[in-house]
């Protein structure tokens, strides 16, 4: 029993992704040109149009450094992000440092995702542009969250284990705390048939982390002064639609004979979906985990694009994303806080 547990933990901590993914030919020069152009458009937009632009610029100037009073608050909030912002702010002015961050994080996301999805760069680019959570959110306003996801993908590409990559990324965004139990669950399920047990463990652990008041009091949620309410804005219709949207993809990609990489990303995405649903129901801040979830599902679909189920899943996913974007924009009067409105601001200023 102890030997088996030891093997589980070793696999969890040190298991590396499939080395066949690291073929740079998976991102040909047309892909690199597309990635660079998209990143330049996002980095070159008029600043001040996104709600958090000024806050980020001031942060790079060093005027919004969070003062930590305990070792836990420092570990959860500043261990990597603050030193990064401070270092970049020493060599560049606030606006330039901000633009560099947007460009690099957007490019890394596209580049690393293309490799992890085995060269599905066209699909990756389309999702990045269409999904309301990517080009017009994480790489437009919620920049630190985008940096964290990009860094996580890139660390996996260069050969870091999923566990170590998630540990490092917590230093950029505390939301990656949830990635650790989901990685453990996905790793254990790869080697055994304890789906129910690992799912329960992952969800319970995630709930525990977000419900302990001491930890919540030490997390500066995305560097905002105000705290999130325990009852979020997500309603019953949102969860019903989410179950249909994500559930349909999981059903389509359920395969009895996937390769190791496809199986891991399927299990990992499934556990993260379950944890995100529960956490977002408990705390409004958990809703932002859907940003990460969409990135994981995107990789999962990309890994399966050579199969008919993968092609169908890609088409279904893109239809969902377009529908969500247009619906959000319509409800918001196509204003500046909608998918269409943000693209207009990005492209025209």
Question: Helix 143-157 vs helix 94-116: angle between axes, to the nearest 10 degrees?
Answer: 40
pLDDT at 40: 97
Residue 39 and residue 107 in contact, taking contact as beta carbons nearer than 8 Å: yes
pLDDT at 203: 55
Q: How many Å is the Cα radius of gyration of the chain?
A: 20
pLDDT at 78: 61
The pLDDT averaged over each successive group of 10 residues in the chain (349 residues) is 52 49 70 97 94 90 58 62 89 94 98 93 97 96 94 90 87 87 77 50 53 46 40 65 91 81 88 87 81 96 93 96 94 92 91
202 token code pair: 């992952």
Spatial distance between the Cα atoms of 141 and 143, rounded to a whole number of angstroms:
5
């Amino acid at each position: 029993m102890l030997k088996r547990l030891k093997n589980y933990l070793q696999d969890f901590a040190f298991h590396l992704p499939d080395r066949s993914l690291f073929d740079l030919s998976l991102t040909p020069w047309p892909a690199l040109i597309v990635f660079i152009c998209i990143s330049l458009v996002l980095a070159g937009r008029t600043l001040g149009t996104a709600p958090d632009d000024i806050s980020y610029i001031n942060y790079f100037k060093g005027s919004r450094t969070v003062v930590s009073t305990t070792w836990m608050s420092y570990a959860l909030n500043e261990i990597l992000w603050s030193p990064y912002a401070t270092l970049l702010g020493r060599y560049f002015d606030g606006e330039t440092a901000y633009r560099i961050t947007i460009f690099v994080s957007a490019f890394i996301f596209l580049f690393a995702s293309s490799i992890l999805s085995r060269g599905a760069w066209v699909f990756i680019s389309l999702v990045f542009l269409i999904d309301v959570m990517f080009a017009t959110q994480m790489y437009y306003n919620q920049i630190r969250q985008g940096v964290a996801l990009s860094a996580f993908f890139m660390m996996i590409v260069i050969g870091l284990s999923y566990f170590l990559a998630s540990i490092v990324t917590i230093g950029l965004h505390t939301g990656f705390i949830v990635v650790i139990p989901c990685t453990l669950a996905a790793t254990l399920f790869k080697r055994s048939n304890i789906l129910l047990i690992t799912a329960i463990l992952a969800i319970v652990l995630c709930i525990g982390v977000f419900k302990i008041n001491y930890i919540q009091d030490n997390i500066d949620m995305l560097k905002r002064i105000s705290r999130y309410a325990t009852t979020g804005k997500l309603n019953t219709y949102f969860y019903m639609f989410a179950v249909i949207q994500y559930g349909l993809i999981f059903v389509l990609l359920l395969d009895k004979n996937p390769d190791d990489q496809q199986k891991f990303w399927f299990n990992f995405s499934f556990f993260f979906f379950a944890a995100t649903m529960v956490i977002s129901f408990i705390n409004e801040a958990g809703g932002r985990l859907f940003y990460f979830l969409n990135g994981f599902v995107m990789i999962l679909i990309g890994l399966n694009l050579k199969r008919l189920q993968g092609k169908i899943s890609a088409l279904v996913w893109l239809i969902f994303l377009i529908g969500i974007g247009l619906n959000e924009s319509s409800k918001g009067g196509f204003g500046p806080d909608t998918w269409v409105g943000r693209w207009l601001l990005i492209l025209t200023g």
